[in-house]
Chains A and B, each alone.
Chain A
């Protein structure tokens, strides 16, 4: 029903005559709204097609847009492929065989790339390759933000065409004048480059190629050349050896280019019942010495006489010599060498041609089959005499041009001032360098070279084994290869790639496929053994005796495991890698024996924050003073000797955090690493960044079980009762093994994959390759010197080092010798003090992936829980950061993100710059501040293997998991074996059943998925 009611709008309507009411009946408003005033003149308004509705739409849209813009997320620059390269599928990794040859490290590698970015280096197992920590870390050096981004002349940017044009003009000028052009390189070992230099020489007249190694093996090369006629290094197959005597040769380190660890451990496989006996005579505690069965401590000058005495004792000759304090041990060693006959070998690191001659003669006298004179090595080519002559010539103005490549003489020469002075007199100085290093910044032309991952190349590591380097990414910067420039300067228009391919076709491949060689990364040919000339040992010995003076204190310079010769010093992974022995990172320091330290007043007090401090010393060698060298006491250092690592103290093209240590090259006078030195204590306190304070195992012998080869082979001993004892507990008044007692209800773990990792303490040399590999694979942050110092390193995998007193006893006897239950205070103290010349053992420790994990039960939010495949998993997103799990972890492998380690200028390492971030593994999350992290058994890699197999419709092949996981695939010696215990053909099954197998801290009952194999030492004395 319609309503007739009238609604009053106002009282005004009562008044019928009101004009307002009348008006309101027609209009909405009483008076006109002053629209004209704000809408301007009518004309323009009428012209506009914008209606009121449109206006409201605009207002609404712009308000919405403004508010949306305000909550915009962070901008991520990503550009999709317009045309996707055939071989790149986002999310799928590609692998390329390549070879690193930076003049210091030589290795056949496999490069993992993701979306066109190299992110991980693996050993190329097809080419029998092996990697060390520096090779593993080299992928990060590619993304070094301080690399040289374009050519420079006298510090100013220049284009490549201008630079090449100017250099070519100068070279032509010099050619006309007949002036000498010197190509100064590090060890190239590249057949094609050497051919190229020869071509360059042919095109440019008076050209000399000088090779220079910062850590020179010139003496060995000279000796070998004299005897065998070829400038090369003898090769050694230690797998064939039954007795190895090394006099100052750090062959598990960088000695003669390194790469011996594989054959060394191959000769020490205890499962075969045999292992080589390794006697090391040295002054510094080296990685090799720490792995030796017997370590004899002698000063460098005494080592020379030890070598002659050893020669005398083996051959029965009577060369001129002097007595050494350890002659009895040396006689003993000689006896063992003689007994081993052709299976014996003597190697020496003494940088003296005569000493090397005696060593060669000794091996020849033994008819050593270990020394290989066929597949000789080319990993060191430097010629000290040429280098010194070059400096003299430059200073005399006899050199017209110096073109340096793969060398940084201004940094690595002790007489670098002479070199710089000489370089100033040279008309043309060109430095090819990856960064504006010391040499590049004093040369006229600084020409950027690509990283080996961006370049072509070839290497002949040893005779008959040719390797190829191929680019795995487009050059990041405006770089050109040295070889391309050289081709240009020789007047050739060929690219180096074509030159390389052609020269391989003509010189190497012998008709076989280039593509196959490139795919494999290695091509091998047969080589012949070299014939030896006779050696005048008597003359060598008398010369040695006459020359060797020795001194009260002798300094041995060495290359550290992490930094090597220093060319990768700006690599944060390497800086953060602790030295395997001192476990100090971010530093070099003078190592000194406890006795000398006491006498000279040096000490290393531990601070309340758990950091080690040290004193400074001024080290003087022949008038050159190296100031403020920190001093660290090193058990096993020979009395009267010091050690100091080179490769530090670099300041050019280095991030400020990375400018650590002192430049010890300044003391390597005449390229000799052994010098008579004097040391003087100076004021100041040095702050070390040590990851381990405690040196000994404090009587807890079941942590690191050791035995002798004799006990191991003694079938009358039950391992579980003797050298691999299991802790016993009382159950119902009967003694049973702790493994038989369990409070937990176990799950059935026999279905599906179940991962175990075996760590063979006998095979682990402590090289640290796995630590860096883990960093690379798992985006483990670098935290810097201060944080490492206060015990906050983030290593998911660490290698513990323990010193034990040298007792030729099995561990069970040793346990009885030390009364650990005594309440005497002095016993506690003694347990904590390492011996003067201790034995060393390395123990890699990562998350043990306990089946009964103590961390899992204590997390209030269940952020860490157990996986079906045996992993103890960590859900970062769920973690609130109570750190209870870390406190309850008996292995202390959990790492907490104390700060934000990425995109934080306080931690200016690779995760804080755009280039460095390119190395991050996209399969692994970068952890945020406040969460716990730890080893995941590389779950991203194992899952990838499983998925690949599933896609292919096959079972996972044995060994596939082992090659996928970062640490085990990086391990050269096979100490780390990863696999699926439910796959019976997997190597891990054997390892789990091995009589040497034990679990770390078994008595706690955590039922670890990481297994250890008892360390065996060959203590048999002849």
Chain B
């Protein structure tokens, strides 16, 4: 599927003097070798955070949602903020694997595996919140249209929350299948290299009996394309539907037709930022500097700049419309003078700073190509996007239609604990993944080795001289 020629002025995507075997060794090393101290430290911290989160969730379910900081006028805050944040993070995976595949972007090959893994793990976290934010989560299955014995009870297809159920579950299943399909040849590689019988057995199972025949490869390519076609609309649909939780409501600040495209852009923005954060760490820890290069970082930063720009324009238009309507009900939406000067001014300005101002540094090429620079900016965007969702939810709900209902929200330790717990859970999953899964789609990278590998390019370019 890859073309066999790449212009000499293009930077190579694989650095160093690598042979196919070198790639295999590089990718298999973290799995076959022993984990270093840093891994254990990171894993312990993540596990503790995860357990703490489980404790907080148990406390919530055992005692009641009252252990959170919510009140009669602010029925959602950190729960749905975290939900939307995690779903948003999950967006980069599909975009990279599906959309970039269709557009034949070769640079995706170094990052798609981890981006997809991140997607799936993030959707796990996201899916947790709609369940535990329920007052009676043990009845959570009532949101599924299961034929039942409760009488004629059925779900309400008018409700955006129900749409969420379908959107998230579809997204998770398609992403999982897509991810696994890509993993098959790599699992087979690990199976073939494994020396311990148990490991061999496991990887044999995981690789679904991949044999490496031409027919396997042909089917693999076909399935990848079909799944990419299926997954591409999901990139748009999932966050569109999430945005409809707000857009179809009647709260000033939520009831906004701009939300679907704006949320999708925001999700890709935050998803790429998270990929940037994770790979920034991973390429160092697992010595994959030759595969995840400055060029990859720069390309991702460009996507961030584009989607960040869309988001900034959306903010501006929300701010403008709130003012332009002249409606007193729009005075205190999350993008308004009222919000900027009110009790949640700090949250408003955090959003502006982290999401609009800081990413502007990416216009500078050296920053865009700097590992540390993009790592820091990606952290800022992660924070900024969290604030975006918090602002939309908490600021809007804190100033509803009737001034008598105006109030504020303060998280309790349980709110914070659950959020930290999901970060821990995510970390646990990602760290386990990094030790057991091939973190780079080596089979695909090998396919571009001779086109975009540094040594091969040198050889080829040398011939021209």
Contacts and interface: CB of A to CB of B under 8 A. Distances in A.
B403 A898 contact: no
Given A694-B404, A890-B401, A1004-B250, A880 B140 contact: yes
A61 interface: no
B71 A700 contact: no
Looking at A787, A858, A861, A931, the one whose CB has the most chain B CB atoms below 10 A away is: A861
B136 interface: yes
Interface string B393-408: 0000110111111111
Interface string B47-76: 000000000000000011110011111111
Contacts of B143: 860-861, 880
B158 interface: yes
Contacts of B397: 887
Interface residues of B, number: 59
A930 B136 contact: yes
Nearest to B340: A825
B64 A898 contact: yes
Given A862-B155, A879-B135, A899-B66, A890 B250 contact: yes
Interface stretch (A558-566, A645-653, A789-797): A789-797
Contact of A609 (B248, B338, B405, B408): B408
B139 A880 contact: yes
Given A862-B156, A880-B134, A881-B135, A888 B251 contact: yes
Looking at B74, B75, B134, B251, the one whose CB has the most chain A CB atoms below 10 A away is: B75
A698 B400 CA distance: 12
A882 B134 contact: yes
B63 A899 contact: yes
Contacts of B248: 857-858
A238 interface: no
A494 B137 CA distance: 63
Contact of A888 (B63, B64, B71, B250): B250
B417 to A, nearest CB: 17
B140 A607 contact: no
A382 to B, nearest CB: 39
B249 A897 contact: no
Contacts of A882: 130, 133-135, 161
Contact of B159 (A703, A791, A858): A858
A859 B249 CA distance: 12
B410 interface: yes
A891 interface: yes
B256 to A, nearest CB: 14
A998 interface: no
Contact of A802 (B74, B162, B343, B403): B403
Given A882-B134, A898-B65, A792 B72 contact: yes
B350 interface: no
Contacts of A821: 323, 326, 328
Contacts of A895: 72
B64 A931 contact: no
A792 B71 contact: yes
Contact of B249 (A696, A699, A703, A854): A854
Contacts of A899: 63-64, 66
Nearest to A691: B404
B142 interface: yes
A609 B341 contact: no
A995 interface: no
B405 A887 contact: no
B409 A610 contact: yes
A947 B338 CA distance: 52
B341 A887 contact: no
Contacts of B353: none
A883 interface: yes
A820 to B, nearest CB: 4
Given A697-B403, A700-B403, A888-B249, A793 B72 contact: yes
Given A606-B343, A694-B403, A802-B403, A878 B158 contact: no
Interface in A925-956: 928-932
B337 interface: yes
Contacts of A792: 66, 71-72
Interface string B237-252: 0000000010011110
Contacts of B63: 899
B312 to A, nearest CB: 20
A892 B400 contact: yes
Contacts of A862: 153-156, 159
B408 A608 contact: yes
B93 to A, nearest CB: 26
Interface of chain B: mostly helix, strand, loop or mixed:
loop
Contact of B73 (A843, A884, A892, A1001): A892
Contact of B71 (A694, A790, A829, A894): A790
A929 B65 CA distance: 9
A307 interface: no
A700 B328 CA distance: 6
A896 B72 contact: yes
Interface in A862-916: 862, 878-884, 886-888, 890-892, 894-900
Contacts of A823: 323, 337
Contacts of A228: none
B328 A890 contact: no
A876 to B, nearest CB: 10
Contacts of B250: 854, 888, 890, 1004
B75 A884 contact: yes
B130 to A, nearest CB: 8
Contacts of A527: none
Contacts of B408: 606-610, 693
A767 B405 CA distance: 20
A843 B403 CA distance: 12
B329 interface: yes
B75 A859 contact: no
B309 interface: no
B207 interface: no
B331 interface: yes
A843 B406 CA distance: 15
B15 interface: no
B165 interface: yes
A890 B139 CA distance: 27
Interface in A594-626: 606-610
Interface string B209-252: 00000000000000000000000000000000000010011110
Contact of A892 (B64, B72, B329): B72
B160 interface: yes
A858 B404 CA distance: 24
Contact of B410 (A608, A884, A1004): A608
A880 B142 contact: yes
A898 B155 contact: no
A881 B326 contact: no
Contact of B135 (A607, A892, A896): A896
A886 B135 contact: no
Given A608-B408, A845-B402, A884 B161 contact: yes
Contacts of A930: 64-65, 134-136
Interface in B151-208: 153-156, 158-162, 165
B139 to A, nearest CB: 5
Nearest to B412: A609
A607 B341 contact: no
A363 interface: no
Contacts of B398: 610
A180 interface: no
B136 A857 contact: no
Contacts of A693: 406-408
A828 interface: yes
Given A608-B408, A790-B71, A861-B156, 10 more contacts: A699-B328, A791-B72, A791-B73, A802-B403, A858-B160, A860-B143, A880-B139, A886-B75, A890-B402, A931-B135
9 contacts: A857-B159, A859-B159, A860-B161, A881-B65, A884-B76, A884-B245, A888-B250, A892-B405, A898-B65
5 A-B pairs closest in CB distance: A881-B135, A930-B135, A898-B66, A791-B71, A883-B75
